[in-house]
Structure 1
Amino acid sequence: MQIKLNGCYAIYSWHWDIPEDEVCGICRVSFDGTCTTCKYPGDECPLVIGECQHAFHMHCIWKWLETETAKGLCPMCRQPFTMDKDKDVN
C-alpha cells in the first residue's frame, strides 16, 4: 500500500509552564488567555512572577504598581513586589 501526501498542515498548541488552574491575580483571566490590554496570548503578554511567588500578566501588574494606592505592593499578599529573576515560565 502506498500513500501519496499532497500537503501537510501543522497544528500546535502552547501554554505557560504553570498549573492550568492558575489565573492572573488581578484580571482573573487564565494565563493561557490574555490580559485586557492584549489581543493575543504569548510573548506579547508574558507572565511576571514575584519573589512572593504570585503570578500576574505583565500588563496587569504594571498597571497595578502605577496606581497611587498600590505603593509597590503585591495585590495578593501586600508584600513589596519585586520580580523573581530566577523564575522562568517559558
Structure 2
Amino acid sequence: MKVTIKQWNAVAAWRWDMPEDDMCGICRNPYDSTCTACKFPGDECPLLMGECNHSFHMHCIVKWIRQESSQDKCPMCRQVFKAKDAVGHAG
C-alpha cells in the first residue's frame, strides 16, 4: 500500500518556561497571554523576573517602575526591582 501526502498543515504552540498557573502581578493576565499594551503574545511581550523571584510582562513592570510612586520597587514585595537574566522559552 502506497500513501501519498497531498497537503500538510503544521500546528505549533509555545509557552514561557514558567509555572502554568502563574500570571502577571500587575495586569493579572496569564504569562502566555499578553499585557494590556500588546496584541499578540511572544517575543514582543517578554517576561522579566526580578531578583526577588516575582515575574511580570516587560511592558507592565517598565510602566510600573516609571511611576513616581513606585520608587523602583517590586509591586508584590516592595523590594527594589532588579531584573534577573531573561526568561526563556520551553519547547
Larger strand proportion of the pair: 2
Give 2:14's aligned residue. 14
Moved over 3 A (4+): none
Gaps of 5+ in 1: none
Q: Deviations over 1:8-66 (max 9, x none)?
A: 11100000001100000000000000000000000000000000000000000000000
Q: In the aligned structure 1, how far is the partner of 2:63 from the partner of 2:77?
A: 17
Q: Secondary structure at the match of 1:69?
A: helix
What is the root-mean-square deviation in Å for CA atoms of aligned residues?
A: 0.9
Give 1:76's aligned residue. 76
Give yes or no for contact 2:65–2:71 (8 Å, CA) kept in 1: yes
Q: Secondary structure at the match of 1:56?
A: strand
Say how many residue pairs are matched.
89
% identical aligned pairs: 52
In the TM superposition, residue 6 of structure 1 has moved relative to its aligned partner by 0.7
Paired amino acid for 1:88 = V
Gaps of 5+ in 2: none
Give 2:50's aligned residue. 50
In the TM superposition, residue 89 of structure 1 has moved relative to its aligned partner by 2.7
Q: In the aligned structure 2, how far is the partner of 1:88 from the partner of 1:26?
A: 17
**Relative contact order, CA 8 A, sep 6+: which one is greater?**
2
In the TM superposition, residue 3 of structure 1 has moved relative to its aligned partner by 1.1
Give 1:24's aligned residue. 24
Q: In the aligned structure 1, how far is the partner of 2:72 from the partner of 2:60?
A: 13
